[in-house]
Chains A and B, each alone.
Chain A
């Protein structure tokens, strides 16, 4: 039914060029060679010359390979049957289950009309004080974890996914180590969450072009669940691999690179995916937690840099801790005025004092004498790191706030903290205040 072409004009990188007519931009094709059959997607039309990126890569493709155009763009199946299953980036099963072909939907669809979005309003509780207190995660937020290789970002993602109260978890793995893929699968399984999860996994051993499909296919499925009133959490790890796959294709297509070899549309490409995060007016939501590894621990590298401009904040993971500086949840102010009245003050005060602690550490390293104030800051900083920053701490928000007051009161006098007088009256721990008046303690 569909016309078949057998003359490949050019093979460069993972892109092949054939002469064909009646082909649509972004149409899908099947390329069959001795090695087997792969999907490919049209990425440029120039007269009769049609360029396609081949999902399985061009290795082993002969000039007489057969190219059959399918007449539609990239699609995926959507149904409840996806739950509990694992697929590749092009949607074929990775587990032992059967292929699913019912109810095909297009991937990479149009964006949501801003008029149909609502202001996010639900906090996602994680039990991690550095998140809950200082950078509250909000339903429908898009937020990456910035990290260097070797940090425990995947366990962090998995932990948040389980602790968050969501209906569906979708994992999009890009260039995942096989061990990490198994970790996610087993972790979800052990905690009984696999049945409400769908995994789209591209591992480091798989062809690059398939990596490009992972975010779109994951998000297309997420979108369908969200339209059915589900709260969906999408985990994307690692988006730097996705960006590198984009770079590879761009260079093959001889696009002029803008910054360190990355294409000029990197921002738009990343944004098209992250902006799928949404809280629908009258339907469900999509929250995106991603991982962006920073080559050379350099946040100005084009991938983290462009990501930071797109997402609604970021968590910096360094030395196994979420750093208070650089970490940011831009949506926190939408929810932290409705948690507890002291939430914002604790958040701001403790961070400002922690900044003071960092300065004092520098002074100390330079060998300067420590003033009385410096000594207070040192005491404070150490307790802050141990009792709140450590990732092993797992306590609800309210407990963390109470702990914050205790630490402040143990280290400072109220005026030194800059806390508004009204809140001092209400929240400053009494025991500590009384301790300053020995008479009261004696009783």
Chain B
């Protein structure tokens, strides 16, 4: 191993102070030695002959005088075919393999290969001898589940290289040489399917960054219609505990129209990850007919796992996302919760006795968050294809108050804000995204004019609702009351969505366009009623039928809609139209 050995002079929680003699590098990995165990750590500050390291493990048992081996390498991930379907911890340890080796508990100091070294992959070359290539260019590909996994020139190579040799079509392991390149100064480079990349550096092997404009369909109506997300965009979901952040991300991870979903469970409950990792293999992805797991990768560093690895976990996740983006794929990274990672920074900053900022978060919190979301984006690769990384992060503000450093720093850099509200979740109005306070800078899947009109209606309805609290129903005109009922109706049948109903849970773009068009027509309809009770009764009935309509499969939905189901859809639609017609004021 390495020659560079330091010795521990202090232990404070997961922070070690280590005296060293030979040079060390900021952010390099060191291993603290505890008997037979080696505990992975990262250098986070250097002062004179002392380095401070955060340990990615429990530090119980370490002593002053114990050795630390510096590796000279930055914290990095392994990239190559076989990443998909994996369940890793924050340091890219494969958890199922770890379970096989260690049993029920996560034993510290056990590190396994992230990718299988024995497995062979069917390589098909695409580059030829004599080609000029640079970092990120395709040399060949292997099938990985439903994808063509590109084998690329290592991202770490600088400048142009000439292809000397490419392996013939055949079966190779990750460590077999599949190509030999020569650099401009004659240096020889061997390319394997496995490469490593330091997680804290963005991969930049592309031609240019583009502006994200294409909607990323999540099939959550309030999102796609009102607060859309774009491919290559970024968004955040702040909300108090229990408001529905995780459920919203779980739904998105199932139904979103993207190639690959990376779930970074960062400092949250283990149970939530278990739901995903036990259920996804059983679920079919309607787009491919294969198991959902085939497009999914889970990075899981839950709340009782070592705190320092939380920070690593989001970087591990985004690096893998960038890797697949380089293959021209659309990747969605869902991080739950970015606040836990910020808290990990805070814990370490406190132990380093740095001057604290607001709520004791470090002063550099904002720039760290900004740099993370900047790794999302839509890029044009050098072969002309495009790939994207979309990042959606939840935020867990202390006390549910958005005026806190993590939420505020995040809002400055993201393209859409899905703010969850306690009132809405208490009233079981799920998903509890606040329809008036949330925003998005990306284009909607439905007609802009209709969205503006509907939003106006919601706002107006809300004003009447507020007013009614002061002056009562009797002090409200029938016209205003109808405005209020219409807003409530739109809320109930469109903004709210039943995550547990097979049909309602996911509304494809075409259905959103169709249904929203119909609903806006209803909202635009002038209606007349004898009195408020009659109006309320009408809307209650209309709501019920419309909700039934939401649960009926739409023809051409991709859902298994038998003739019976399709008829139901049409019948209910007709019923709604008839009901509305009966109260229409043609005056």
**A residues engaging B (CB < 8 A)?**
21-27, 44-48, 73, 109-120, 140, 227, 255-259, 263-265, 267-268, 271-272, 275-276, 278, 280, 283, 300, 302, 305-306, 308-310, 312-314, 325-326, 328, 330-331, 333-334, 337, 344, 348, 351-352, 355, 362-363, 366-369, 371-373, 415-416, 418-421
Contact = CB atoms under 8 A, between A and B. Distances in A.
A352 B343 contact: no
Interface string B518-533: 0000000000000011
B63 A22 contact: yes
A114 B277 contact: yes
Contacts of B532: 371
A47 B398 contact: no
Contact of A265 (B8, B240, B270, B347): B347
A362 B469 contact: yes
Given A257-B360, A328-B242, A113 B102 contact: yes
A418 B474 contact: no
Nearest to B353: A256
A318 B496 CA distance: 29
24 contacts: A25-B63, A44-B12, A45-B64, A112-B270, A113-B98, A113-B103, A114-B95, A114-B270, A115-B95, A116-B103, A118-B278, A256-B353, A258-B361, A264-B343, A264-B346, A272-B304, A280-B104, A300-B398, A300-B401, A308-B241, A312-B271, A368-B472, A420-B544, A421-B544
A312 B98 CA distance: 26
Contacts of B427: 352, 355
B577 interface: no
B500 A344 contact: yes
A115 B241 contact: no
Interface string B536-571: 110011011001100100000000000000000000
- Interface range for B: 35 or more
Given A23-B64, A118-B274, A308-B242, A110 B343 contact: no
Contacts of B275: 119, 334
Contacts of A309: 241, 396
Interface stretch (B54-62, B180-188, B195-203, B382-390): B54-62
Nearest to A117: B274
Interface in B454-506: 469-470, 472-474, 492, 500
Given A45-B10, A114-B87, A264 B360 contact: yes
Contacts of B17: 46
Contacts of B256: none
Nearest to A120: B271
A267 B544 CA distance: 42
Contacts of A302: 398
A368 B548 contact: no
Nearest to A283: B104
Contacts of A267: 267, 303, 340, 343
A418 B542 CA distance: 10
Given A113-B95, A264-B347, A362-B469, A258 B64 contact: no
Contacts of A333: 500
A275 B340 CA distance: 15
Contact of A415 (B63, B273, B426, B540): B540
Contact of B87 (A26, A46, A112, A115): A115
B440 to A, nearest CB: 26
Contacts of A140: 271
B479 to A, nearest CB: 17
A124 B155 CA distance: 53
A264 B426 contact: no
Interface string B9-24: 1111100010000000
Nearest to B303: A271
B271 to A, nearest CB: 7
A230 B187 CA distance: 63
A47 to B, nearest CB: 6
A111 B106 contact: yes
Given A110-B107, A300-B399, A371-B532, A268 B61 contact: no
B423 to A, nearest CB: 10
Nearest to A111: B304
A371 B473 contact: yes
Contacts of A334: 275
Nearest to B470: A366
Contacts of B240: 308
Contact of A258 (B9, B270, B359, B399): B359
B11 A44 contact: yes
Contacts of A305: 241, 398-400
The 9 closest A-B pairs by CB, nearest first: A368-B472, A300-B399, A271-B303, A275-B304, A308-B241, A258-B360, A111-B304, A26-B60, A45-B11
Find the residue from B58, B99, B269 having the highest chain A CB count within 10 A: B269
Contacts of A112: 104-106, 270
Interface string B232-249: 000000001110000000
B179 interface: no
